[in-house]
Amino acid sequence: MHHGTVEMCHWLGKVPGVPQITRAILESNEPILRIEVAGMSLDNPLGLAAGWDKSGRALRMTQCLGFGFSEIGSISARPSRGNPRPRLFRLPAERAIIVNYGLPNDGAEVVARRLAESRPPYPLGVNIVKTNDGNDAVAASEDEILADYEHSASQLHPHASYLSLNLSCPNAKGGQDFFARPGSITRLLERLAPLGIECPVFLKIAPVDDAAEHERVLAECEGFSYVRGFCFNLPTGKPDTLQFAGASESFAQRPGAVSGKPVESLINRCIAGLYTRMDQRRYYILGAGGVFTAEDAYRKIQLGASLVQLYTALIYEGPGVVKQIAHGLARLLKRDGFANVATAVGSSHAGSSIL
């Protein structure tokens, strides 16, 4: 169904009048939601998260769904078929899905050519990850991992509004463990520096609610001015830090990472912790995980996220949820006396309790 929906959007985007009609139905116009992040001007802070349009095939339609920006990928240096099927499971009672795709995508060179031909008129993020060579592949060396990211970044950064370096993907072998080692992020950023990347770069890091880990990541980014923010990834497996509405025994053995409501509390704690430690004049946070309502998005913004991404909500609620959240978020901001969404970022930290 996922693949079919992306392909349908790909072809509908070429039908005269369909994108325009879709935009008229689904877009919102709320001036209070306009925001500037890392030099990018957005009509609203809501974005389509990476993982839905993996190779940038549906851009003509996703730009009409009411988002302020979107992120494609994850994209690797070489094409990848991903993990064997079955690799996606719904958990309706949990408002969640289990994702074990393994990063199927067309590869950096193909996607770069695609973006050169058709880039949307609003900010587009491009998510980059190490190539998934399969579970039976020989472990990659440090140089091979760094070269993989370097090749993708060199191909894709001219076509991106921002790059997101996926350093903790839970669905592929190799790469994610490497960046948990002290000094590894610095080595990657040193490798990318000669490319002259002009767009802002965000790091997609593991959702670790730990002050020392946040300080470590910030310290490794300190000397690289092109790094402008962070996003927390899904946790690997089914850790105790997730909050399930029911018993998890029935799906605990299914391979993959959980997205949706069970990750919301963990991600919110990570956002709050990182926000209080980072240089808020330089860095921005993209908040993703469990956003189904305007209240969910508002909570992440109050905890420190300047932008909020959706994915699982689209599966259960459909594309109309974007406009619904946008209108609801505007009402919440007006209710609480904020002049615009930027002034609400991190506002919970002014009180005595933020969680």
Which sequence positions are flagged as catalytic? Answer: 169
CA 35 to CA 43: how far, in whole Å?
A: 7
Burial of residue 201 (CB within 10 Å: 0-12, 13-18, 19+) is: buried
Residue 333 CA to its chain's centroid (Å): 24
Tokens 């919110």 — which residue? 268
309 φ/ψ angles, rounded to the nearest 5 degrees: -110, 150
- Residues in CB range of 84: below 8 A, 6 or more apart: none
Q: Which amino acid is at 59?
A: L
CA distances from 352 to 150, 270, 355 (A): 44, 18, 10
CA 302 to CA 313: how far, in whole Å?
A: 20
